[in-house]
Amino acid sequence: MKILFMLPARSGSKGIKDKNIKALHGKPLMYYTIHAILESRSYQKHECFVMVNTDSEKYANIARECGAKVPFLRSKELARDDSAVTDTIRDTIHYFDERNQPFHLFAMIQITSPLLTGSDIDQAVALLEGDANLDFVHSVTEAEIMPLWCNTLPEDRSMNGFIGKETRRKNRQELPTYYRLTGAIRMARWSSLKQYEYDWYEGSAKALVMDQKSSIDIDTELDFELAKLIMKGRETHE
C-alpha cells in the first residue's frame, strides 16, 4: 500500500511567530510529527512518502533535516490567512496525479500535535486497511468541557435556562461522553477524496479515539509549556 503523509506548514502564523519551527524541548516543532510517522510500523510496512507542504524555503530546509521531503513550495495564493486547507490538499493530490504517482491513502498530519505517536498513526491506517468500505478516518478525543454545561448568554447575563432541567439533575458520570475533533490525523482513501470533492464528512467515516495528552494542539505559549512538561514526564517513565 502506498501512503502519502502531508504535513501543512504555512509560514505566516500570526498567533506565535514561526510556530511550526519554534523550538520545543530542544527540537523544531515539526520534528515530532515527522518522527512519529518515521517511527511507526506503518512506515516500515508500507511504501510511504512523508512531505511537508510549505511556502517557505527556510521551513523546507528544516523539514528535510528532520527527515521529510519537500517536492515543491506552496504557492503564495494558497498560503494566505484566508486560504482553505482543502485547496492545499487538492493542489497536492493534483501534483502527484499529474506525474502519474497516485497513492492508496492520503494522510494529513497536524504539526501542532507534537505528542502524536506512531501508534496513533498505525491505528488510523489499520482502520482503513481493515474495512474496504471505509473512506475517511478522523482523530478525536474526549471533550475536556461538557458541552451540555455550555450555552450562550443574553446581554443581561441571565442564567435562566442556561442548563436544561434534565442535565442539571444528573451528575457528570451520568451524562453521555462527548468527543471533539483534534485535527491531529485525517486519513482518507486517495480515490474517496476526489470522489467526494475533498469533503471529509461525506462517504463512510470513522473516529480514531486518541488520549487527551496525545491530542494537545499547540496554539499558545501555554500550550508549548504544557507539551514540554508532558514530554519530560514521558522521558522519566521510559
| 141 contacts 110 by C-beta, under 8 angstroms | no
In the chain the domains, ranked by start, together with CATH numbers, are 2-142+179-237 (3.90.550.10)
pLDDT for 237 equals 54
Splitting the chain (238 residues) into consecutive groups of 10 residues, what average pLDDT does each group show?
97 85 95 98 98 97 98 94 93 97 97 97 98 98 94 96 92 92 98 96 96 93 92 71
pLDDT for 12 equals 77
| 55 contacts 11 by C-beta, under 8 angstroms | yes
Reported as type and span, the H/E element at residue 180 is strand 179-189
- Burial class for 108, CB neighbours closer than 10 Å (0-12, 13-18, 19+): buried
3-state secondary structure at position 199: coil
3-state secondary structure at position 12: coil
pLDDT for 196 equals 97
The strand pairing partners of 103, in sequence order, are none
